[in-house]
Homo-oligomer: A and B are copies of this chain.
Amino acid sequence: MTTSEARTRLETEELQERLREIQALLAGKGTGLRATLDALHPADIAYLLEALPPEERLAVWDLVKADRDGEILVEVSEAVRESLIASMDSRELVAAAETLEADELADIAGDLPPAVIEEVVRSLSAEEREQLRAALSYAEGSVGALMDFEHVTVRDDVTLEAVTRYLRRLDELPGHTDQLFVVDRYQVLKGTLPLARLIVTDLDIDVARVTVREGLRLKPEDAASEAASAFERYDLVSAPVVDGDGRLIGRLTVNAVVDHIRARSAETQLAEGGLTKEEDVFAPVLDSFKNRWAWLAVNLVTAFIASRVIGAFEDSIVHLVALAALMPIVAGIGGNSGNQTITMIVRALALGQIQTHYWRKLLAKELGVAALNGVVWGVMLGVIAYVLYGNVALGGVLALAMLLNLELAALMGVAIPWVRWKLDRDPAVGSSVLITACTDSGGFFIFLGLATLLLI
Q: Are A9 and B362 in contact (CB under 8 A)?
A: no
Can you name the residue of chain B whose Cβ is closest to the Cβ of A278?
Answer: B347
Can you name the residue of chain B whose Cβ is closest to the Cβ of A201?
Answer: B168
Q: Which residues of B contact A377 (CB under 8 A)?
A: 296, 300
A355 contacts which of B19, B168, B325, B358 (Cβ < 8 Å)?
B19
Copies in the complex: 2
User: Complex: how many Å from CA A226 to CA B11?
Assistant: 7
Q: Which residues of B contact A201 (CB under 8 A)?
A: 168
Instruction: Give the contact stretch, choosing among A107-115, A181-189, A287-295.
Output: A287-295
Q: Which of A408-456 contact B (CB under 8 A)?
A: 432, 440, 444
User: Complex: how many Å from CA A261 to CA B228?
Assistant: 12
Q: Are B306 and A317 in contact (CB under 8 A)?
A: no
User: Complex: how many Å from CA A51 to CA B212?
Assistant: 29
Q: Which residues of B contact A199 (CB under 8 A)?
A: 164, 167-168, 173, 195, 198-199
- Known A-B contacts A51-B353, A279-B344, A288-B365; the reply to A8 vs B214 at CB < 8 A is yes
**Minimum Cβ distance to chain B for residue A301 (Å):** 10
Q: Check A328 for interface membership: any CB of B closer than 8 A.
A: yes
Instruction: Give the contact stretch, choosing among A83-91, A119-127, A335-343.
Output: A335-343
Q: Are B173 and A196 in contact (CB under 8 A)?
A: yes
Residues on A facing B (Cβ under 8 Å): 5-13, 15-16, 19-20, 23, 41, 43-44, 46-47, 50-51, 53, 75, 164, 167-168, 170-173, 175-178, 195-202, 212, 214-216, 218, 222, 226-227, 229-235, 237, 254-255, 257-259, 261-262, 265-266, 268-270, 272-275, 278-279, 281-283, 285-286, 288-289, 292-293, 295-296, 299-300, 302-304, 306-308, 310-311, 314, 317-318, 321-322, 324-326, 328-329, 331-333, 336-337, 339-340, 342-345, 347-348, 351-355, 358, 361-362, 365, 368-369, 372-373, 376-377, 380-381, 384, 388, 432, 440, 444
Other A-B pairs beyond A292-B369, A302-B332, 9, CB < 8 Å: A50-B353, A172-B196, A261-B265, A266-B347, A269-B272, A274-B337, A286-B372, A296-B377, A311-B388
